[in-house]
Amino acid sequence: MRSKQRMYKLCTVLVGMLLACSLAGCRSESTKTDATQLPQNLVKSGEPALQMLTEPGTNLFCRAQTEAGFYEVIGRGEKVQNIVYTDYATKSRVYLCNDPGCNHIDDSCPSFLDTRSIEQLFIIENSLYIQNSPTNLDNEPSQLIRMDLDGTNRKSVLTMETGQRLFGGYATDGEILYYTTMVYVEVPEAEQETNDGIEFHLNGMNLRTGESTELYNFGTNCIGDKIWVGCVGREMIFSDTVIPDPEQPKKVAHTYRAFSIDTQQWRDLIQEPIFEGAGIYADGMHIWVGTDGMTLNTLTYDTSEVRQTTLDRKIPLYATMDCVTDGKMLVFWAEKDQDTYVTVDLETGAITDGMFWVSKASGKNGVMKILASFGDEYLVDTDPVDVPQVFYHVDGSVERYTGEFWPQALISKEDYWAGKRNLTMIDDHVKA
């Protein structure tokens, strides 16, 4: 259990991001690298459309894919992280390293990352970008590092000054890389109770020249409330979360605003009624269950329309939604020690049994997450097994232990959504 949980633990050091973390959704579809894969209605004529490179609503997204394979970052120690690659053609998972004798623990290895703070991974054309956001700003700057797809030829393309951190959302129109930062500002003592002293900035970097410009300053007190949920055409869509009644913190109101990268003007998209539960931001939509538990609401940013679909059966308001793609999503919840996993058809509201893994060791279940999408197949996490693992401490000592590991497999999209476990296992050389 250690390696995977540790990866997420290492990722969860950012301040005030609990809300955004809970909104993390399907991790495959937002990593498309080919703009032509965007739905046609999202591409406005003339200009290249913006493409979101990271998962909407979260700053923790250590995965990316090309048409050939899937990249992820795993943690193996206090200052040891590695890039791991699953190759679709050979159906194998390896360290991003060609040397069979390599331990992958120092700078000579192209899979090695001398840090514990990787929070974002994305691909533009033939370059892999990783965001490093250490919490101790005085010792190590927050950086965006670009490298070739084989992990070599590394260069820092963004290096933050002291008091500034890369925050996590990224999009591009092919020319400019759009990104957000947290900027720590001085607050007079009298205001310290009401001002968190952290500004949220939107910026653009010219991919060719490396020059950066600040596009908008959201001000302080909004980290966690202002969520970059997607892009439509040449506009970025931000959701604003408000809790109107402090006595009822679960009642949340959402508004949506669009920021044009051409005019740098804002326009209101929709004023949403108050509803319970956060729902999920994914695939150009905000999806949530109504208070009756029987109505599925889908707001599409492109049209600003909310569509309501009646569900086959009741879904509790606290249910978690995940893996929204291809017109379907996975929903799960625990009730009286009973874990339920269902697939919801967004169009019809039909509910069928969903995919989940089972741990033989612990007896626990979890969602069989979609990691990547290759043609008619998904790459998924499967039933965890206990394997020997190694943890590298910063003082040079090595700890050996047995921990849970989730082998990957390919499954046809049809079987996945039908809940049929016809899995083609990936040959794993990382944990094998």
Compute the least distance from the CB of residue 84 to Zn ion, in Å: 11
Token pair of 184, please? 């720590």
Indicate the residue among 109 and 144 with the shorter CB distance to Zn ion.
109
Indicate the residue among 103 and 195 with the shorter CB distance to Zn ion.
103
Q: Which candidate, 49, 127, 69, places its Cα nearest to that of 377?
A: 69
Q: How many CA atoms, within 13 angstroms, populate the side-chain half-sphere of residue 135?
A: 8
Indicate the residue among 142 and 389 with the shorter CB distance to Zn ion.
389
Are 282 and 288 spatial neighbours (Cβ–Cβ below 8 Å)?
no
Indicate the residue among 19 and 102 with the shorter CB distance to Zn ion.
102
Are 318 and 277 spatial neighbours (Cβ–Cβ below 8 Å)?
yes
Are 312 and 350 spatial neighbours (Cβ–Cβ below 8 Å)?
yes
Compute the least distance from the CB of residue 427 to Zn ion, in Å: 18
Compute the least distance from the CB of residue 191 to Zn ion, in Å: 50
Indicate the residue among 104 and 116 with the shorter CB distance to Zn ion.
104
Indicate the residue among 97 and 367 with the shorter CB distance to Zn ion.
97
Compute the least distance from the CB of residue 99 to Zn ion, in Å: 5
> CA torsion, points 374, 380, 385, 391, in degrees to nearest 10?
80
Indicate the residue among 10 and 97 with the shorter CB distance to Zn ion.
97
Indicate the residue among 97 and 331 with the shorter CB distance to Zn ion.
97
Q: What are the C-alpha distances in Å from 131 to residues 71, 84, 298, 349, 393?
A: 14, 16, 31, 38, 22
The H or E element spanning position 363 is none
Are 277 and 254 spatial neighbours (Cβ–Cβ below 8 Å)?
no
Coil, helix or strand at residue 203 = strand
Coil, helix or strand at residue 20 = helix
Coil, helix or strand at residue 351 = strand
Compute the least distance from the CB of residue 92 to Zn ion, in Å: 15
Binding site for Zn ion (CB under 5 A): 97, 102, 104, 109
Compute the least distance from the CB of residue 102 to Zn ion, in Å: 3
Torsional class of 417: left (φ above 0), alpha (ψ -120 to 50), beta (otherwise): alpha
Cα separation of 84 and 429, whole Å? 10
Indicate the residue among 99 and 347 with the shorter CB distance to Zn ion.
99
Report the 10 Å Cβ neighbour count for 71.
Answer: 23
Indicate the residue among 79 and 201 with the shorter CB distance to Zn ion.
79
Are 354 and 332 spatial neighbours (Cβ–Cβ below 8 Å)?
yes
Q: Which amino acid is at 385?
A: V
Q: What are the C-alpha distances in Å from 359 to residues 157, 381, 382, 420?
A: 42, 12, 9, 18
Helices (H) and strands (E) in the chain, counts: 3, 36
Residues in the chain: 432
Rg for the chain (alpha carbons), in Å? 21
